[in-house]
Amino acid sequence: MRGQTPARLRGTPTLKAALMLALCLSTQPAAFALRQQPPAPGAAPVQSRAPLTRENLTTFLRGLAPERREAGVAMLAAAMRDSGVDFEVTPAVEQELLAAGATTELVAAARANFRPAQAPSTQGTSPQGAQRGGAGGGAQPSPTPVERDPAMTDSPPSVTRHEIRVGGRTLRYTVTTGVMPLRSAAGETEARIFYMAYTAEGAGDPARRPLMFSFNGGPGSSSVWLHLGALGPRRVQMMPDGAMPPPPFQLVDNEHTWLDFTDIVFIDPVGTGYSRAARPDLANRYFGLQGDIQSVGEFIRLYLVKNGRWTSPLFLVGESYGTTRAAGLSGYLIERGIAFNGVLLVSTVLNFQTARFARGNDLPYVLFLPTYAAIAWYHKRLPADLQSDLRRTLDEVERWAANEYTVALAKGDRLTPAERQEVIDRLNRYTGLDKTFIDRSELRVEIQRFDKELLRDQKRTVGRLDGRFKGIDASAADVTPDFDPSMAAIRPPYTATFNQYVRSELGFRSDLEYYILGGGVGRWDFGADNAYADVSEALRSAFAKNPYMKLFVASGYYDLATPYFATQYTLHHMGVDPSLQGNVTTTFYEAGHMMYIDQTSLAQLKRDAAAFVQNASAARAR
């Protein structure tokens, strides 16, 4: 057939039918003949033209000569509209069609004209015949492994039941694990969000039981860290201070789970975990501040609809960039009728100006300094009078940073030599860094250079997520660390245990890679228009429109990813009305970004969060 389809004939119905007839006869004569047999007496009529099969379509596309491709593709699209196709266009099928030479328009036509074959009547047919498709039923192509993958289909979720001992009593719970399809207005699945919903059994009326939606950050991180680190009934077993244990890694029951005071839904936004856009061309709409908020917001709406939880006390908990998402969601969803009793922010970043080291932006140098001091304190690099009490030391550092240091940086090259030396001496006192290094850094120490410099004399680096951790680089002479030792400590245990847990205990078996952190998200659109992304206004707006909403903010002293003093700065610059400032609770932990990997902080976080949720849930009854 190659090269025999003139463009001038592309609109002729007779030729379209002839093309498809020839195609079917040349590729599947037996199947075609079977479909065209006259109906048996009393049977329903059979359509005169059978839908296109995937095999027909790919065979024809591969046989088209380049100079006839445009005409051939146009005729195929017209034939699809006439006859339909008998296969659903999954992501795997889409890739197969594109590889065979289909255009995106042809793929869209196939998707829009899917006509499932009606199951043949089993009346008068033996069970064996029914299993084989019945007389004249025709063999249907078997779905590929990717098409059967539960993460790639709109199939029912896995539901499992478990129990755990918490606080001396047995807590029984159900876990629902699956994907939630996000559909267009036309009903087409555009993305699937993977989730794990934990609900306590025998906990009374679900309409009065708190419901919490949880996610981590990145952008590009799955929900695994809060899930298997703090909130869920199972957690990764780490060393008591959060260091990595020797492999193989294992899960243990989490006696500090939050499930005893709230149901929890862990959400993996599109591009994380098993969550995927339905088509590659749709993915970028989810990889940005607003698209991410909108898609997770739609998931929350759908979950409330499908599970009848509209009147439950509602909570959000996010970590790291997840706090950015949570703050944005609080403002986005209040406009859609969903008001939260409380928002919990763990290791917070709302205003990215506070965390972006750039020429002309001196704010991070001021706001990171107390965390530098805390990490230097932990490694015993400060003078003796500052090593006795961490909180007292940080009070002194915060006062100087917010006043004299801020003014000195604002003066720029107008500083006198004496003033400059005073700043050098103070920074040396509060960080333990060499005075010459501080002077050559122009009084401004960037995070990566601090991580490399603090323990350079020991040929060690310190962690970004958790400054307590030490790393060993290939060369002690480099300017920045080779890697973050605090990330290296947690990634292998969480990756291994989750992949085992989701299959063996939750019964969800997917062959897709579970994107723990990165790998599934493209370039992120912060939508800041050459400014710094800032969602603090969305949070302030949610407070104004829902004065009953409470805010819980948890920070680790040794966290350089989202320093606690930067979080305090943002909270004090949101413009929350004085009458609502009592709605904000702040807590601090002697640990890092994931403060819960430290067992002492894990227990403290549970106590603090439980008290917060109880208080925020009770507010509606008053």
Whole-angstrom Cα Rg for the chain: 30
Based on the fold, state whether residues 203 and 302 are members of the same structural domain. yes
Instruction: Say which amino acid occupies 443.
Output: L
Determine the average pLDDT of the residues in 382-410: 98
Based on the fold, state whether residues 12 and 95 are members of the same structural domain. yes
pLDDT of 79 higher than 90: no
**CA angle in degrees (0–180, nearest 5) for 427-428-429:** 90
Domain that holds residue 22: 7-120
Determine the average pLDDT of the residues in 173-180: 97
Last residue within a domain, chosen from 94, 120, 146 = 120
pLDDT at 89: 79
Based on the fold, state whether residues 102 and 23 are members of the same structural domain. yes
What is the distance between the alpha carbons of residues 461 and 468, in angstroms, rounded to a whole number? Answer: 10
Which DSSP state fits 228? Answer: I
Based on the fold, state whether residues 240 and 304 are members of the same structural domain. yes
pLDDT at 52: 85
138 found inside a domain: no
Sign of CA dihedral 443, 444, 449, 452: positive
DSSP alpha helix (H) spans, 404-454: 406-411, 417-431, 435-440, 447-453
Based on the fold, state whether residues 369 and 350 are members of the same structural domain. no
574 found inside a domain: yes
Closest CA to 233 of 196, 203, 267: 196
140 found inside a domain: no
Based on the fold, state whether residues 350 and 367 are members of the same structural domain. no
Based on the fold, state whether residues 261 and 200 are members of the same structural domain. yes
Based on the fold, state whether residues 178 and 245 are members of the same structural domain. yes
408 found inside a domain: yes
131 found inside a domain: no
CA 354 remoteness from chain centre: 23
SS3 per-residue string spanning 304-315: HHHHCCCCCCEE
| DSSP labels, 580-603 | GGGGEEEEEESS-TTGGGSHHHHH
What are the tens digits of pLDDT across the range 12-56?
Answer: 443 444 444 444 434 333 333 333 333 443 433 333 457 888 888
Out of 30-39, 214-223, 497-506, 605-614, least confident range: 30-39
Adjacent-strand bridge partners of 552: 344, 585
Determine the average pLDDT of the residues in 511-526: 93
Q: Which residue has the tokens 């419901």?
A: 211
Residue 191 near residue 276, CB atoms below 8 Å: yes
What are the tens digits of pLDDT across the range 509-518?
Answer: 999 999 999 9
128 found inside a domain: no
Based on the fold, state whether residues 183 and 291 are members of the same structural domain. yes
Q: How many domains does the chain have?
A: 3
Determine the average pLDDT of the residues in 110-124: 56
pLDDT at 162: 97
Based on the fold, state whether residues 561 and 436 are members of the same structural domain. no
28 found inside a domain: yes
Last residue within a domain, chosen from 91, 120, 149 = 120
What are the tens digits of pLDDT across the range 152-169?
Answer: 998 899 999 999 999 899
- CATH code of the domain covering residue 325: 3.40.50.1820
The pLDDT confidence band at residue 59, using thresholds 50, 70 and 90, is confident
Based on the fold, state whether residues 469 and 541 are members of the same structural domain. no
The residue ranking higher by pLDDT, 84 or 521, is: 521
Determine the average pLDDT of the residues in 484-499: 97
105 found inside a domain: yes
The pLDDT confidence band at residue 619, using thresholds 50, 70 and 90, is low
Based on the fold, state whether residues 195 and 343 are members of the same structural domain. yes
- The mean predicted confidence, pLDDT, of the chain is 86
Residue 163 DSSP SS3: strand
Determine the average pLDDT of the residues in 312-333: 96
Last residue within a domain, chosen from 120, 142, 174 = 120
pLDDT at 143: 52
pLDDT at 145: 52
pLDDT at 97: 81
What is the distance between the alpha carbons of residues 298 and 293, in angstroms, rounded to a whole number? Answer: 8
| Residue 254, number of CB atoms within 10 A of its CB | 23
